[in-house]
Amino acid sequence: MHKYEQFAWQDALSLAAWLKKSFDLEAVRESYESNSIQGNSDFEKYHADVIQELIATPESRRPAYMRRACKNVSALTQGVMIVLAIIAQVRVKEVIELRDRFRRSLYPGGGNRDTCAGLYAFNNAMRDVTFMTWPTAVFEALSEREAEWARIKPVVDEWVSVIDSFDDDD
């Protein structure tokens, strides 16, 4: 399941990069944070089908999907849906981590009392996965990744130009 966990995190970063590049990130954040947790939760429930399909859609087709699925919706509202997709992917990652941590309780074979106690602990841990706060950790990781790329890009560009010069010699 580590592969799925990694994918969920990388996809959250990809969604964050798209949001940062194509939308007014500060306006989206202000709009998102101006709603109550219950308001954002209700919004997510109402638009769950769109958010789920957004997650399932390949990166290259996501802008077209959003244009089609959200024809009469403002860019700000589309941005909030992307934020909720980011949060959803972080939740997926956390659910996988919890499932792995409580795997002995979730599979048959244990004693009844131990399994029930473990499932109770799992249920309590799952309550924390329903967070609705702004996904700061994702945007911080994205900034770190962008900073790292900015640092190594000149080296990569130089390396590519050297390789291209060898191709020109052929």
Structure confidence by residue, pLDDT tens digits, 154-167: 776 778 777 877 76
Q: Cα separations (Å) of 139 from 14, 38, 90, 142, 160?
A: 10, 23, 12, 5, 29
> What phi and psi, each to the nearest 5 degrees, are found at residue 134?
-55, 135
Gap between the Cα atoms of 91 and 132, Å rounded? 10
> Does pLDDT of 106 surpass 90?
no
Question: Distance between terminal CA atoms of the chain?
Answer: 46
Structure confidence by residue, pLDDT tens digits, 112-126: 888 889 889 988 998
Our count of domains for the chain comes to 1
In a domain, 119, yes or no: no
The domain in which residue 147 lies consists of 2-102+133-169
In a domain, 56, yes or no: yes
> How buried is residue 112: exposed, middle or buried, by Cβ count under 10 Å (0-12/13-18/19+)?
exposed
113-139 CB burial, b ≥16 within 10 A, e <16: eebeebeeebeeeeeeeeebebbeebb
In a domain, 128, yes or no: no
> What phi and psi, each to the nearest 5 degrees, are found at residue 49?
-65, -45
Structure confidence by residue, pLDDT tens digits, 47-100: 999 999 999 999 999 999 999 999 999 999 999 999 999 999 999 999 999 988
In a domain, 40, yes or no: yes
In a domain, 149, yes or no: yes
Q: Percentage of the chain surpassing pLDDT 70? A: 94
> What phi and psi, each to the nearest 5 degrees, are found at residue 5?
-60, -45
In a domain, 146, yes or no: yes
In a domain, 50, yes or no: yes
In a domain, 60, yes or no: yes
What is residue 169's predicted lDDT score, i.e. its pLDDT?
61
Contact 121, 102 (CB under 8 A): yes
What is residue 94's predicted lDDT score, i.e. its pLDDT?
92
